Structure 1
Amino acid sequence: MSMLDQVYGPGFSENLPADRSPMLEKTVDHLFGEIWSRPALSVRDRRLLVIGATAALGRADLIQIQAQGALANDEFTAEELREAVLHLHYYVGWGNGTQVNNGVEAALRLHETKEQK
């Protein structure tokens, strides 16, 4: 659970449902408890890999979650995220790149709103 908060920001794990499905249990225990916790790559390095892989899927919703985590943890600036969007357009195609942009921009708007409060 602590790695979830480390990846997605303080308090993220508190939003998980109390009644956990087997899939959610394995995600928490294995993916975050073992894989994201391995020392050879930083959370920021792993996030870049996830953003790249997710970009190829064209999933704005999943990109937004990663970008929100990156912003919550001060891993990337808005400028760096936007530069990643531009770079990814050429590797994942313009349609998928547009979805990456949509997810990043949604995360930036949400982050900006939180900072103004």
Structure 2
Amino acid sequence: MDETRRRGLEKMNEVYGWEMPNVEGDPYFDLTVDHLFANIWTRPGLSMREKRMMTLTVVTAVGNADLAEIQANAALANGELTVEELKEMAVFLTHYLGFPLGSKLDGVVSKVAKQRKKAAEKGQAEDKRANVNAAVNMHSGGSLDDE
């Protein structure tokens, strides 16, 4: 594995809060890891918290609840944002994006918080395979289960 791929996977793991597999031979995944995560997410100037808030804003604006769920879960797992801060983002964004999109983010935050609380009460970690599958699918069009 070259240095760019290693750096990209390392940042991708930090962004998503779990270990992503190195998917070989998929041009879209290659571009995502080697450019987006190795070169864009690692740029100085914005904190991870600020990048996370921007990403959540954008995915909320385009109505992508699946990606909002991944990002909200990672923000909580990485300690970048609290449930209360995520809920406040939903209230704030509602006034710029409209009720349907803002309430969708609020629903995502409630869902993620509930899942994390339930897992914690059972003494379990979150279902990382489902999270990894969602991210692999988003970045390459496949999933770990397709292997």
Aligned to 1:46: 51
How far is 1:33 from its partner?
0.6
- Name structure 1 gaps, 5 residues minimum: none
Number of equivalenced pairs:
114
Aligned pair partner of 1:72 in 69, 77, 93:
77
User: Runs (4+) of structure 1 moved beyond 3 Å?
Assistant: none
How far is 1:113 from its partner?
2.6
Whether the aligned pair in 2 keeps the contact of 1:55 and 1:96 (CA below 8 Å) is: yes
Residue 57 in structure 1 maps to residue 62 in structure 2? yes
Report the identity percentage: 36
- Name structure 2 gaps, 5 residues minimum: 1-8, 124-147
Aligned to 2:15: 7
List per-residue Cα deviations over 1:5-58 (Å, max 9, x = no partner): 1111142x14x6x45521111111111110000111111111111111111112
Whether the aligned pair in 2 keeps the contact of 1:58 and 1:97 (CA below 8 Å) is: no
How far is 1:102 from its partner?
2.0
Aligned to 1:88: 93
For residues 50 and 25 of structure 1, the distance between their equivalents in structure 2, rounded to whole angstroms, comes to: 20
Q: Which amino acid aligns with 2:87?
A: R
The TM-score normalised by the length of structure 2 is 0.71
Of the structure 1 ranges 53-62 and 26-35, higher mean CA displacement relative to structure 2 is found in 53-62
Whether the aligned pair in 2 keeps the contact of 1:67 and 1:107 (CA below 8 Å) is: yes
Q: Which protein has the larger Cα radius of gyration, Structure 1 or Structure 2?
A: 2
- Tell me the C-alpha RMSD between the 2 structures: 1.5
How far is 1:64 from its partner?
0.6
Aligned pair partner of 1:111 in 116, 120, 123:
116
